[in-house]
Structure 1
């Protein structure tokens, strides 16, 4: 996936989860943050960030904040991007892919993809990952009861004869492995481990990131056990 007009800037402040103040060559910009997560380790004063100019002239904010530099890493933090990356990655993830649909409801959940491949029917949930510590990618960066619910719904899908998968799209590259963030949300980590033990397929893929693009990279090793 690609972005259109991108400009760099210096992050100054985030007065609320939707808005950031960024200094650019054209002056101070009030930007929309395309990620409602905490992102405290990313959005630190002075960090270099990248903004996409909106094509909608009637918007209150002219720019969206889509990426940030963290040391040697360039991290995409657009929460809408992982599903688009996952869509590009589907043929590699599911050999024999014949069709897929986005946003398919099942039970009390709405999963990101319903996939038909090699005679099997799959429900897949996608999770974007922006938290990195010492070369390790972690999810979530804040407690997510919705994420726990999705995992147990995927287990129930399998009980009804479907296959189930959760894909962690790591919005950076150069990661050693992925692991659930037990420190932040032990319930999610336990649910992920138990779902995998019950047959839910767990996958992680990193991304090649530039200020103006995000594309699927290579599979990332998993460490699900505590």
Structure 2
């Protein structure tokens, strides 16, 4: 995934109201930009950190600029736009970069499914193969040398795991796919200390046939690329 045009740098002043951030550009201009991340974003942006933002050509947008990346004081790069995780996986599937997900003829995004009225991030299908339902989660929380998901209690995330389990019970294939958007994370675990129910559901889902995958990324102002698998520890 390439950024075109290339992202522009700025200094973070503050994030507020969840979806907004004030920044100062390299030219000294003060801007309010959109933050496409509904999570806690713990450790993903402190005042004074360098960030990179994209600019939309949609003139109807009130805030045309979007916060994409952060570089922390420790030198870590973090992708804070959670929507990029879905697009990265879609790109990788189309280019057959993930061996376990190759061989499907069709793939669609945001398809309604399940008894709890959910939308699956990716639905893969092919003749003479079970459908493959893929739920994508972005990992950005780094604590004590570990990457964790989620960074806050997530009832929505719990629902998604239940829906995936239901798909396996109906004979389909189901995958929970973690995209690590943090250059400092090299191993991942469910955040039992934050959302113990989510951690329990992941373990239950794995025992009931849900496949769980975890990949790192390469992050730069030029673009983001899905990289190699990372160790995932579930217990």
TM-score normalized by structure 2?
0.90
Spell out, residue by residue over 1:168-211, the C-alpha distance to the aligned partner (whole angstroms, 9 max, x if none). Answer: 01113353311011111111011001100111000001111002
- Cα pair 1:125 1:166 within 8 Å, conserved: yes
| Map of 2:180 onto structure 1 | 170
| Conserved? CA contact 2:153–2:194, under 8 Å | yes
For the residues of structure 2 that align with 1:103 and 1:30, how far apart are their CA atoms?
29
Residue 181 (1) aligns with residue 183 (2): no
Of 82, 88, 92 in structure 1, the residue corresponding to residue 91 of structure 2 is 88
Instruction: Let me know the Cα RMSD of the aligned residues.
Output: 1.6
Give the secondary-structure state (helix, strand or coil) at the position aligned to 1:120: coil
- Cα offset, 1:53, TM superposition: 1.7
Is the partner of 1:97 in helix, strand or coil?
coil
Normalized per residue, which structure has more strand?
A: 1
Counterparts of 1:95 and 1:184, CA distance in 2 = 34
Q: What is residue 10 of structure 2 aligned with on the other side? A: 9
Instruction: Give the structure 2 partner of residue 195 of structure 1.
Output: 205
- Distance in 1 of aligned mates of 2:159 and 2:60: 37
Stretches of structure 1 that go unaligned for 5 or more consecutive residues are: none
- Which residue, 143, 148, 158 being the options, matches 2:168? 158
C-alpha separation in 1, matches of 2:232 and 2:11:
34
- Where does residue 152 of structure 2 map in the other structure? 142
Aligned partners of 2:64, 2:172: CA distance in 1, in Å?
A: 44
Counterpart of 1:46 (choices 45, 48, 59) is: 48
Q: State the SS of the aligned residue for 2:171.
A: coil
Cα shift at 1:81: 0.3
Q: Deviations over 1:26-59 (max 9, x none)?
A: 3111111121211131221111111112212343
Are the aligned partners of 1:4 and 1:53 in contact in 2 as well (CA < 8 Å)?
A: no
1:73 to 76, 87, 94: 76
Q: CA deviation at 1:97?
A: 2.4
Q: Cα gap change, 1:25/1:85 in structure 2, threshold over 3 Å: closer, same or farther?
A: same
